Amino acid sequence: MYEHPALIAQVKTKQKVVAITFDDGPNPHYTRILIKLFEEYDAKATFYTIGQQLEEHREVAIAAHEAGHELGNHTYSHPHLPELAYEQQLAEIMQTERLLIDITGRKPTTFRPPYLEFNETVIALIKSLDYQIISALNLKTEDWREPGVDQILNFTRAYVAPGSILLFHDGFGDRSQSMEAVRILLSEYTAQGFRFVTVSELLLLQEN
């Protein structure tokens, strides 16, 4: 269940801007690779971070923030939110929010539900906390399965368009295929005149 009017997967804009997002970090190896890679292309990313990973790899999150990337909320322990009681859902979100405020100095403004699982209670809670709920267009890519660089690229290229939000993973497991695919995408689409911005920057470019 991935579709809901409250979830944002694309922003209406004529500008050639795309937001690349990464879930489940920060990761001491792969997140650092991405920070260097995006710097090469003067590009920015959004990292949907897990609180437990923030506690373990705080210095990586600080490095991403200082490099100009956005840190979004992806809960504290990556649970199936619809299966939790309301108080547990709230705790999952707020625990990570506090960690991100401590790291960045400000409240995160975008949220991605783990597994993109939600129900109306989850949606209502997230919106009540003043978060924009972020999905993505290339969900069939499933880079977390390590399906091969070619498949990641094939399932992503069709969705590279003005205003698109794309999803990959930098946490848990071997993410080398994702790193290589994103490197190729940055090279290809920068050459075509695309800019890569944070989700919050993309949302500001929404046209009526």
The CB density around residue 106, as the number of other CB atoms within 10 Å, is 9
Alpha-carbon gap, residue 2 to 68, rounded angstroms: 29
34-60: burial string, b at 16+ Cβ within 10 Å, e else: bbebbeebebbbbbbbbbebbeebeeb
Among the options 23, 24, 143, 170, which is catalytic?
23
Q: Is the dihedral of CA 14, 167, 22, 33 positive or negative?
A: negative
User: 3-state SS of 51-63?
Assistant: HHHHHHCHHHHHH
The reported pLDDT for the residue numbered 29 is 98
Q: What is the average pLDDT across 160-174?
A: 97
Among the options 78, 143, 169, 170, which is catalytic?
169
The reported pLDDT for the residue numbered 2 is 60
Q: In whole numbers, what is the pLDDT of the chain averaged over residues?
A: 97
The reported pLDDT for the residue numbered 1 is 45
Of residues 2 and 20, the one with the higher pLDDT is: 20
105 conformational bin, left if phi > 0, alpha if psi -120 to 50, beta if neither:
left
Percent of the chain with pLDDT over 90: 97
Name, in order, each residue with C-beta under 8 angstroms of 193's C-beta and a sequence gap of 6 or more. 16
Q: Per-residue pLDDT for 10 more than 50?
A: yes
The reported pLDDT for the residue numbered 3 is 72
Alpha-carbon gap, residue 87 to 123, rounded angstroms: 14
Q: Per-residue pLDDT for 156 more than 70?
A: yes
The reported pLDDT for the residue numbered 20 is 98
Percent of the chain with pLDDT over 70: 99
Alpha-carbon radius of gyration of the chain: 16
Q: In this predicted model, what pLDDT tens digit does every residue of 72-90 receive, in sequence order?
A: 999 999 999 999 999 999 9
Residue 208's pLDDT band, with cuts at 50, 70 and 90, is confident
Residue 4's pLDDT band, with cuts at 50, 70 and 90, is confident
Q: Per-residue pLDDT for 116 more than 80?
A: yes
Active-site residue 42, yes or no?
Answer: no
CA 98 to the chain's CA centroid: 18
Name, in order, each residue with C-beta under 8 angstroms of 197's C-beta and a sequence gap of 6 or more. 17, 18, 19, 43, 44, 205
Active-site residue 23, yes or no?
Answer: yes
